[in-house]
Structure 1
Amino acid sequence: MAKTKVLFGLLTFVTIGMIIGALLQLIFIRRLEESSGIPHWANDNDADDLRLGLECDYLRAIARPRLQVSTVVDVKTGKGIKSDVRTSSGMFLSSEERKYPLVKAIEKRISVFSQIPVENGELIQVLRYEKNQFYRPHHDYFADTFNLKRGGQRIATMLMYLSDNVVGGETYFPMAGDGECSCGGKMVKGMCVQPTKGDAVLFWSMGLDGATDQYSIHGGCEVLEGEKWSATKWMRQRTTI
């Protein structure tokens, strides 16, 4: 009986110690948040905003040291060539980087939003547009047979904006609607999307009938001030992995 009481007392002591330890850890984490200047999250929206911001900065950090002059697809060979149609710089994440937890989380969210399997997506491309740079209106679907061999046609595009404080640099859809909008400081017909860090645009290059959609033509308006960073995820008819 005496041994049982001693054992019970020890278990109670250990349990209380664990509870106190957990409370001290929570207090430490809370103070760490406050000292870092990050307020204690009152709701999930604040957490989402911070997470998206960190993801944007993460992709920019990976891309910056590997940026090269952007190319366009040659309709005859299917290979990338330099062109004055597109004046940005960019890079593609590698297959190994695709396995990184943060990149996997981004790709999973794109898959859920677009309802297209992750394995149907190309590697993420990160782009930087500096002042006076642009991308003339174009289609994302292929006009050659070379690129159709792996994964089939591009059916959708997820365009993600990675930076703020950009003047100009809108994504321009000239055949979307009958309104007018500002594209690089010029009023044009169609629809323009202002680049805002953490935002994304999903549009389709093919219809449900499997035909390419000419109305999906779009371009990157001239950047007037700042740097426009974006990440592009193209999705195919079949697996690309």
Structure 2
Amino acid sequence: MAVLKGKYIKFQGRKWSTFKLSKIIMVFLLALGVSMFIAFRFFSPPESSHSELLHRLASVQHSAVHSDGLGKRGDQWVEFISWEPRAFVYHNFLSKEECLYLISLAKPYMEKSTVVDSKTGKSVDSRARTSSGMFLHRGQNKIVSNIEKRIADFTFIPVEHGEALQILHYEVGQKYDAHYDFFADEFNIKHGGQRIATLLMYLSDVEEGGETVFPAAEGNFSSLPGWNERSECGKGGLSLKPKMGDALLFWSMRPDNTLDPTSMHGSCPVIRGNKWSCTKWMHVNEY
């Protein structure tokens, strides 16, 4: 009887365990379903128009409370603005303190801006470029190094492939006519190869004018927000109004390693105010 009783108790235990397991599974599935419903209900994007949805898909947004550099940056997001040329805006790439610091570094050393001669590779004066500027040293100090690392992280182009930061200042009436950042000669690509991309950082707002314009860009730009606020020069193509802390990344070369003619760009004349900017040119190879 003891053996039979043991078997009976063991059998009853199996029945009870199976029932209990089934009950646990049912409760788990019910809880999972409720959790999925709540997540979908409260975390899914609200209904919106087709244009709003496209705008949302065209940008990747995240918040940044702390900065790896000087000062604190606000909300940051990367906004796609063009495929031809490939161009993106990184909002709040620099903090206000970093912008003012770069300007203070450059002010004592500003000189008339020049252009690169395609035959000799030397810097020469040109009426096409009427701003003033100067170059910092790559890795000049901790703040500059942090910015250069941030550029490399954003572009996936190593710091060693970039030229030194160039600080530019445009006063009223000053501009830079439409041009390419890539080289059309062999002399200038001996060191580092071709320029592949440019990051243009805005160190100040501009009251009127001073837009970065891409006259050869493809698209219908008159329907974009803020079009009526552009200067006549800015209405000559895809244009971006300077905003302190924002950074414009555009590619001078296509993914197939060919030069992109739609990357032609210029700086519109400043009509009111001052324009300060900082440029980083990046090469295919180590520069």
Quote the residue 1:142 is aligned against: 183
Question: Which has the larger displacement, 160-169 or 216-225?
Answer: 160-169
1:104 correspondence with 2:151 = no
Count of residue pairs brought into register by the alignment: 196
1:192 correspondence with 2:239 = yes
The superposition leaves residues 181-200 of structure 1 with CA deviations (integer Å, 9 ceiling, x where unpaired) of 56544463421100000001
Deviation at 1:209, TM superposition (A): 1.5
Quote the residue 1:239 is aligned against: 286
Deviation at 1:165, TM superposition (A): 4.1
Q: Among residues 111, 116, 119, which one is paired with 1:76 in the alignment?
A: 119
1:61 correspondence with 2:108 = no
Tell me the C-alpha RMSD between the 2 structures. 1.9
State the secondary structure of the residue aligned to 2:73. helix
1:44 correspondence with 2:86 = no
Contact 1:159-1:232 at 8 Å conserved across structures = yes
The superposition leaves residues 63-94 of structure 1 with CA deviations (integer Å, 9 ceiling, x where unpaired) of 11101100111111121110000100000002
Quote the residue 1:126 is aligned against: 167
The superposition leaves residues 99-157 of structure 1 with CA deviations (integer Å, 9 ceiling, x where unpaired) of 41110110111111111111100000000000000010100001122211110000000
Deviation at 1:225, TM superposition (A): 0.8
State the secondary structure of the residue aligned to 1:141. coil
Taking a change above 3 Å as real, the CA distance of residues 141 and 186 of structure 1, as seen in their structure-2 partners, is: closer
Contact 1:179-1:189 at 8 Å conserved across structures = no
Equivalent-residue separation in structure 2 for 1:194 and 1:165 (angstroms): 8
The within-5 A match list for 1:150-165 is 150-165=191-206
* Aligned residue type for 1:44: V
* Aligned residue type for 2:252: S
Question: What's the % identity of the aligned pairs?
Answer: 49
The higher radius of gyration belongs to 2
Q: Among residues 118, 137, 148, which one is paired with 1:94 in the alignment?
A: 137
State the secondary structure of the residue aligned to 1:44. coil
Unaligned runs of 5+ in 1: 1-42
* Aligned residue type for 2:116: V
Taking a change above 3 Å as real, the CA distance of residues 80 and 184 of structure 1, as seen in their structure-2 partners, is: farther
* Aligned residue type for 2:271: L
Unaligned runs of 5+ in 2: 1-63, 75-91
Contact 1:126-1:229 at 8 Å conserved across structures = yes
Quote the residue 1:8 is aligned against: none
Contact 1:166-1:195 at 8 Å conserved across structures = no
TM-score, length of structure 1 as denominator length: 0.76
Q: Among residues 261, 268, 276, which one is paired with 1:214 in the alignment?
A: 261
* Aligned residue type for 1:115: F
Equivalent-residue separation in structure 2 for 1:59 and 1:142 (angstroms): 27
* Aligned residue type for 2:147: I
Structure 1 outlier segments of 4+, above 2 Å: 178-189
State the secondary structure of the residue aligned to 1:103. helix
